[in-house]
Structure formats: C-alpha cells, structure tokens
Amino acid sequence: MAIALLDYCDGTGTIYSATSSSMDSTGADFLIAVVSAYNSPIDPSAFSDNRGNSWSVLCSHTGINNQSIFYCKNPTSVGVGHTFTYTKGFAVYPSIGGYAWSGVDLAENFSTNNTSVRSSVTVGSVTSGADYSLFFLTVGTGHTITLSSISGGFTTLSNITGGSAQYQGLHTAYKIQTVAGSRTENPTATFSGTQNIGASMGSFLQSSSSGGGGGSSTPTAGTQVYPFRQFVEADFGSAGGSATIHPLYAN
C-alpha cells in the first residue's frame, strides 16, 4: 500500500485558542498536526486532539513566528469528526492544522537555521532514505501576506492567511514521490509581501508493509539506521543563525 493522504483540517479561533474544523481520519496509521503561533514557544501540553491520542513533538522552533510539528504513529482512535485544539491562557494568535495519512513510517534527522525576514523561503534540500516517500512542508507567517506559489510540484493543503492582530498564517503542502531514484526535494514558498516567515519540511518513508522502505528500526549508537526520515527547518525571523543535524530513531 502506497502512502496516501486520507483527509485534513485546519482552523483558527481567538487570540488565545485555535480549533480546527473536523476531518475523517478513518483508516489512518499516522497523524501530523501543526501549530503556528506568535512570539511564544509552542507548549505541547496546550495541544490535543478530541480523540485522546498520544502525541510527540517532532520539531519546534522559536522566534517571532513559532511552529511545532506533532506526530502520532498508529493512533488509538480515529474516525469522523476528528479535530485538533491549541489553547493558552495568554495571547499567542494560533492557527492549527491536522493531517491523516496511511502507509507512513517513522524515523528522522532534522536541522535548524535562522536568516532574515523575506518574501519567500526555501527551507533547504531534504533527501529521503528510500523511493516513493512523502514530503511535508509547513510555513508559518505573520499577518496579511498571502501565499503566491510553492514550487517543486507540491500540492497545497492548509492555506490560512494571517489575520491582523488575530492569528498567524499557516500554509502546508505535500508531495509523494512517484519516480524511483528521485529522493530529494527543495521547494520554495513565495508570498505577496515581506514578513517574518518560519518554515519546516520533512520526508517520511513508506511503512515496511507498504512495499517500500523497510529495514531495521533498532539503532546502533553513532550510526544512522535505514529507514530514516530527514527533517529540515528554517525560522525566517532574525538575522544570522546556525545549522545542526540531530539523528532520531523510532522503534
């Protein structure tokens, strides 16, 4: 079974809280959720879904625009009416999205860097560990600028333009590779104007039962274990920066 997007949802709310619309996650073996908020690190304890699944933080970055990518492998509860919520006791202007997938594996590397404010963002090349992988891009922005395009053959999902003094922009897109040997993506997201922009992208392998990927899930210290997922993240809110690679593994 190849990787497939089953459904997705997104939403905003008040300056304190965001709740998505509902989706049908029936049949999902992997969930992704994204929170975009202003000027305050994302608090994992403030995030939940209405089906009580257990979530892990894949990656977070802080600055003017803050984002966290949450994931849930083999959720215990899926179905119709699935929603996602982020709530804080002070103003964080959040937006939120949830995405249901089938046929996805789990394991990753990721890196972070910071650069200047601009009107477009190229996160950086990401290379998957096998053919036919999923690439998931998420971009958080300040208010008023609109998404003009995402290059590289990516399909746009959430497309929330930030509301002035209301909520952060949230834009997500994905690509499932269909050509053997083509394992690297480096899309550019272009906007209508200049703002603080934070962006993240990861590649996700097929599960071993999907006919691709596969391999050992038990890591050896100091080595990368196939299959792996590579994650690249950029926060375009300040000048300067650095990059660090962090290999992570999942049982």
Q: Residues 151-168: pLDDT tens digits?
A: 999 999 999 999 878 899
With H, G, I as helix, E, B as strand and everything else as coil, classify residue 182: coil
pLDDT tens-digit series, residues 34-67: 999 988 889 999 999 999 999 998 877 777 888 8
Give the burial string for 8-21 (b: 16+ CB within 10 Å, else e).
bbbbbbebebbbbe
Angstrom distance (rounded) from CA 85 to CA 147: 24
Mean pLDDT of 100-125: 73
Helices first, then strands: H and E counts in the chain: 0, 20
Mean pLDDT of 176-185: 91
CB atoms within 10 A of CB 183: 18
pLDDT class of 130 with cuts at 50, 70, 90: confident
Which has more confidence, 33 or 226? 33
pLDDT tens-digit series, residues 70-90: 999 999 999 999 999 999 999
Task: Report percent pLDDT > 90 for the chain.
Answer: 51
pLDDT class of 30 with cuts at 50, 70, 90: very high
Does position 218 have pLDDT exceeding 50, yes or no?
no
Nearest to 174 by CA among 128, 226, 220: 128
Output the CA–CA distances (angstroms, integers) from residue 175 to 70, 155, 222, in the order listed.
19, 6, 30
pLDDT at 52: 98
Mean pLDDT of 83-108: 92
pLDDT at 209: 58
pLDDT at 240: 43
- What are the residue boundaries of the structural domains of the chain, listed by start? 4-248
